[in-house]
A and B are shown apart, each in its own frame.
Chain A
Amino acid sequence: MVFSSISFLYYFLAVFLGLYFIVPKKFKNSILLVSSLLFYFYGEPSYILIMLLSIVSGYLHGLWIDYKRNTPSAKVALISSIVVSGGFLLFFKYTNFFIKNINQIFSFKIPSLEIVMPIGISFYTFQILSYVIDVYRGDAKVQKNILNFATYVALFPQLIAGPIVRYTTIENELESRTHSLEKAAYGVWRFVIGLSKKVIFANSLGEICKIISKSDESSVFYYWMAAVLFALQIYYDFSGYSDMAIGLGRIFGFHFLENFNYPFISKSITEFWRRWHMSLGTWFRDYVYIPMGGNRVSKLKWVRNILVVWFLTGFWHGAEWNFIVWGLYFALLLALEKLFIKKLLDKTPDIFKHLYVFFFITVSFVIFNANSMGEAIGNIKGMFGLQGVPLITTEALYYARSYFIFFIIALIGATPIPAIVMKKISSIKAGEYLINIGKPATVLMLLLVVTGYLIDGSFNPFLYFRF
């Protein structure tokens, strides 16, 4: 099940929101857990068992670590947990990738396994790993109530698409959280905005990208249009989903951390990765990069650390070589930026910094979106006029004209401009009044429009589902 679906909005959410607020406090986590398991079962009936096994493993390992604290057994428990959780992830997500590559290298004929990657496994595995590591480090208290722990892992707002919520973030709120009209209103607002970002913008951008990819009329302009629109699509898709998760979490009394912070206004690649998918970036920083020494090591080891983290980041996104190349692409850029480019960037006007980021990010998403490295290289060549195609065609011009206003609105929406404008308006009394009327009216209008889009459209994929 996805948030942006009729079954979720008008059946699942309606029922479970109601139940959640009706039941007494002591049953609220149970309602969350049951609804989360049903939510997962709806989308992945046959693999719910894997998630449950992962939850039980994380829970038991947490107890073991806590019981054997300050003994070598605690480390054994930690390693065991990493092996079990990581093992599930490796098996379901990467087995066929390894088989394919072993066959290619050694000319073996090992058959691929008929396994489907369980939805959300990359997210909930990382959550469980962060929990056991934090318990081991003493940063988090062990959760002795398996239902509470299961609720944390399976919590449907962030289960299948993040953000990767650290246990420490909601540790206290799991046991005791408050609900208020203010939180509910904020949650509703965030959820509806996220829903609109996903359904109105991401899905529409995806449709244009699909038109371009199916077209027989390639052109340099079309290659760039596809690249830029895909970058916007994935932003709206993922950040929209994060907004919905944060919004729903708030309605239930949880404070999830932000996952996106207007990444397209970045003035460097380093800054971009502090604004994009922040929960993943900080996860790798805290559990891989810093334990390896971070940047407090020799230059050579620092480069090694960067390569390992970004290899893993790319690989986490998908079991294909283009994702690994995508990760290493950023490793190279970030290393070069730290060593040389930053000094140069500091001396240039902001416009060039933005263009620099725009260029490299756009190219990175071309690699990310490709089905193979061959396709990625072909698309990049196309962007630079190396595919022998014309600069522009009738069809490209038509769609550029048709979607121009939509594109401008999407571009502005990806910047802090709307938030800044709202803040300025609300700083004056009349403006505050307008905002207070405007918000509920906007919620109503967006809900109805989104419903129209959902009913009319059959094109409603979530890009990060493959993770």
Chain B
Amino acid sequence: MKQKISNAITVTVFFLVIYGLLIANLISPDKAISYSERRELAKAPEFSYEELLDGEWLKGYEKYFLDQFVLRDKFRGLKAFTNYYLFREKDNNGIYVVDGVIYKIEYPLNEKSVLNAAKKLNEVYDKYLTGKRVSYAIIPDKNYFTAEEHGYLALDYDKMLEIMKSNVKNMTYIDLFEHLEIDDYYKTDIHWSQDKIVDIADLILSGFGQDKYASWDTYEEKSLYPFYGSYYGQSALNLKPDTIVYLTNDALEKAVVYDHIDKTYSRVYMEEFFGGVDSYDFFMSGAKSLLTVTNPNAKTDRELIIFRDSFGSSIAPLLLKGYSKVTLVDLRYLRTDILDNYLDFSVDCDVLFLYNTLILNNSYMLK
């Protein structure tokens, strides 16, 4: 090819890309939400003279251009592809993939945070739970199963457990590490898959001695597809989404969930949240400070309180069979010192602290 033709094509390509994307961006409608990134996308900022002069209005526009760029996910995928396959980097923004499963690096172990978590558990016990049957369990994050073996940075889980076991008082530790494996988790999400943790729920119930009060022993499996987990968008790779397989029966369909803060009623499984920004909100409506779910078929008056994170949303329905009520408390959104405004701790109940390792490593979010 002659130099002249090459020059013409070079310039043409450049202008085609610049103008093509300009026109595409101008004519494509703005999107409100990025489902792959699970967040709202920036809108065009409103004009203000002050913000123009201090640069904030133009910064707002820069964010808007970035967020609303046409084929945004495809371009992010191009970057991920370049990093993984050309530069052979082990991770892209901390995200890595092994055998089709997406992980996010969590490193290093924050010993002070873990100790803080242990102190928080003790604080809640001392304030409200003296004399009650209390257990705690730690859910390993996905990295536990894969990171070290494949040469990725991993938390020192042994050290984490050692700190917790040495410092948490008055509670029975339930070891979940030996009962879980990577296949029990979603490929594209941080969480475990409900259909794979029936044995975990039974382990917890038998630990409290409530398995003998189980008001059901069968479930019907239902599934929802596609589930783009929290890591899916972050990976920016074209991987297969997950399927949410959930377990239900007549009792769970009839069970009522009460939100103490909003003072509203809902259901255990909220189909309307599937396909939203975070489909995992399907379980118990997602991130809520204080919920109580009632078992319509309860064989006991005993209640369970779970101090939990988001993992608790999917296991709580499986624990409900052993209790008349299960209350879920999320200390990330509700302060410890005002719990007795909402809950009557004089009622005899079982208490479970159920947190995953990522919360323990970043425990200062617990109030």
Contacts and interface: CB of A to CB of B under 8 A. Distances in A.
Interface stretch (A81-89, A128-136, A165-173, A450-458): A450-458
Contacts of A398: 90, 151-153
A444 interface: yes
Interface in B57-106: 58, 61-62, 65-66, 69, 72, 75-80, 82, 87-91, 93
A17 to B, nearest CB: 7
Contacts of B91: 402
B152 to A, nearest CB: 7
A6 interface: yes
B65 A406 contact: no
Nearest to A181: B7
A217 interface: yes
A182 B54 CA distance: 41
A403 B84 CA distance: 11
Interface stretch (B10-18, B177-185, B244-252): B10-18
A448 B66 contact: no
A456 B152 contact: no
Interface string B12-49: 11110111011001000000000000000000000000
Contacts of A80: none
A406 B66 contact: no
Nearest to A434: B1
B236 A181 contact: no
B79 A453 contact: yes
Interface in B122-172: 151-153
A189 B3 CA distance: 13
A215 to B, nearest CB: 8
B108 A217 contact: yes
B99 to A, nearest CB: 19
What is the predominant secondary structure among interface residues of chain B facing chain A?
A: helix
B347 interface: no
B4 interface: yes
A11 B2 contact: no
A184 B6 CA distance: 12
A394 interface: yes
A437 B75 contact: no
A194 to B, nearest CB: 13
B261 interface: no
A428 interface: no
B153 A394 contact: yes
A436 interface: yes
A53 B147 CA distance: 59
B14 A188 contact: yes
Interface string A50-77: 0000000000000000000000000000
A260 to B, nearest CB: 23
A409 B87 contact: yes
Interface string A124-148: 0000000000000000000000000
A261 to B, nearest CB: 24
A395 interface: yes
A449 interface: yes
Contacts of A427: none
Contacts of A401: 90, 151
B77 A452 contact: yes
A7 B61 contact: yes
A13 B107 CA distance: 41
A45 B54 contact: yes
A157 B236 CA distance: 33
Contact of A436 (B6, B12, B80, B93): B6
B176 interface: no
A5 interface: yes
Contacts of B82: 200, 449, 452-453
A413 to B, nearest CB: 12
B79 A402 contact: no
B62 A5 contact: yes
A433 interface: yes
Nearest to A42: B58
Contacts of B2: 436
B8 interface: yes
B233 to A, nearest CB: 11
Contacts of A6: 62, 65-66, 69
A443 B14 contact: yes
A14 B151 CA distance: 45
Contacts of B287: none
A456 B108 contact: no
B52 interface: yes
B55 interface: yes
B53 interface: yes
Contacts of B53: 45-46
Contacts of B8: 181, 185
Given A395-B153, A436-B1, A453-B79, A7 B62 contact: yes
Q: Which of B3, B4, B11, B80 has the most CB of A within 10 A?
A: B11
A333 B91 CA distance: 41
Interface in A173-225: 181-182, 184-185, 188-189, 192, 200, 216-217
Contact of B75 (A46, A439, A451): A451
Contact of A185 (B10, B66, B108, B236): B10
Given A6-B69, A181-B11, A448 B107 contact: no
A452 B22 contact: no
Given A409-B87, A452-B79, A395 B107 contact: yes
Nearest to A182: B7
Contact of B6 (A216, A439, A448, A451): A439
A405 interface: yes
Given A447-B17, A448-B78, A449-B78, A455 B10 contact: no
A10 interface: yes
Given A45-B55, A398-B90, A188 B11 contact: yes
Contact of A45 (B14, B58, B87, B89): B58
A404 B90 CA distance: 10
Contacts of B61: 7
14 contacts: A1-B58, A7-B65, A45-B52, A46-B55, A181-B11, A395-B107, A398-B152, A403-B87, A406-B89, A435-B6, A440-B6, A440-B12, A451-B78, A456-B93
Given A10-B21, A189-B10, A455-B79, 11 more contacts: A10-B25, A44-B55, A45-B55, A46-B53, A182-B7, A188-B14, A406-B89, A435-B6, A440-B12, A448-B17, A452-B78
The 5 A-B residue pairs with the shortest CB-CB distance in the complex, in nearest-first order: A185-B7, A436-B6, A452-B78, A452-B79, A402-B90
